[in-house]
């Protein structure tokens, strides 16, 4: 019995589809949530190293557009320098391409995204298309005075223009309260939110975050 090229091709595609399904069924996605300065960036670095997730930070993606001086980056910079959010369709578009560009990822850690309820709904749809979902939102809690203190300090070395001016820092925190805090309510309706005390040592906080992931992975 000999197998025709056509049968071989069908068999080959079936194997690819099978592995693709295995991949998406086991994808593990988390959101690291919290106000500006709550430690999302620091903890993300440690978490992706430990759990092998792909880090997707909309702030980093936007800053890379700014560095490349793209039209998108230049438009975003004006808003970022005022402490305002970039339009939903811009960040959702960036996240959508980033997800598509990493088909090998065993899961994503979303950092700084979603930042509005509309972004959260868009993310659910993007993940649904890949038969995936958010496993948990880990929300870091830090007092406002501590946030301002940390961001001003970060501004001394980060080179980020939005970290050097207290008015801009306070505007970002106000945007957080007005538009972003509601994102936690969105995930709370699915019982996916875990609050984590974000003041303490980096290692203590990392341990608490890691425990929550270990319980679910």
Residue window 155-174: x/- pattern of binding to ligand ADP, with contact defined by CB under 6 A: -------x---------x--
Task: Determine the residue with CB nearest ligand ADP.
Answer: 59
> Are 114 and 176 spatial neighbours (Cβ–Cβ below 8 Å)?
no
**Stretch of 24-32, 56-64, 101-109, 133-141 lying at the interface with ligand ADP (CB under 6 A):** 56-64
* CA pair distance 28, 66, nearest whole angstrom: 30
**Stretch of 11-19, 75-83, 131-139, 183-191 lying at the interface with ligand ADP (CB under 6 A):** 75-83
Give the alpha-carbon dihedral of 70, 74, 80, 85, to 10 degrees.
Answer: -70
Cβ burial, residue 92 (10 Å; 0-12/13-18/19+): buried
Q: Which of 30, 56, 91, 122 binds ligand ADP (CB under 6 A)?
A: 91
Rounded to a whole number of angstroms, the minimum distance from the CB of residue 67 to ligand ADP is 13
Active site residue 216: no
Residues 6+ apart with CB under 8 A from 174: 83
DSSP 8-state class, residue 81: T
Which residue ranges make up the site for ligand ADP (CB under 6 A)? 36-37, 58-59, 62, 79-80, 83-86, 91, 112-113, 115, 119, 162, 172
């Amino acid at each position: 019995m000999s197998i025709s090229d056509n049968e071989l091709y069908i068999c080959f595609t079936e194997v690819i589809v099978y592995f693709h399904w295995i991949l998406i069924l086991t994808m593990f996605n988390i959101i690291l949530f919290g106000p500006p300065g709550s430690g999302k960036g620091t903890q993300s670095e440690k978490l992706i190293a430990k759990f092998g997730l792909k880090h997707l930070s909309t702030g980093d993606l936007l800053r890379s557009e700014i560095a490349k001086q793209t039209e998108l980056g230049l438009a975003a910079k004006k808003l970022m320098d005022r402490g305002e959010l970039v339009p939903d369709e811009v960040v959702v578009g960036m996240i959508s391409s980033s997800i598509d560009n990493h088909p090998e990822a065993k899961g994503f850690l979303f950092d700084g995204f979603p930042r509005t309820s509309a972004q959260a709904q868009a993310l659910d749809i993007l993940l649904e298309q890949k038969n995936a979902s958010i496993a948990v939102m880990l929300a870091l809690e830090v007092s406002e005075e501590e946030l301002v203190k940390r961001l001003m300090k970060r501004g001394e070395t980060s080179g980020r223009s939005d970290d050097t001016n207290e008015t801009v820092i306070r505007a970002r925190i106000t945007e957080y309260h007005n538009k972003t805090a509601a994102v936690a309510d969105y995930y709370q309706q699915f019982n996916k939110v875990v609050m984590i005390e974000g003041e303490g040592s980096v290692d203590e906080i990392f341990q608490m975050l890691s425990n929550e992931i270990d319980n679910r992975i």
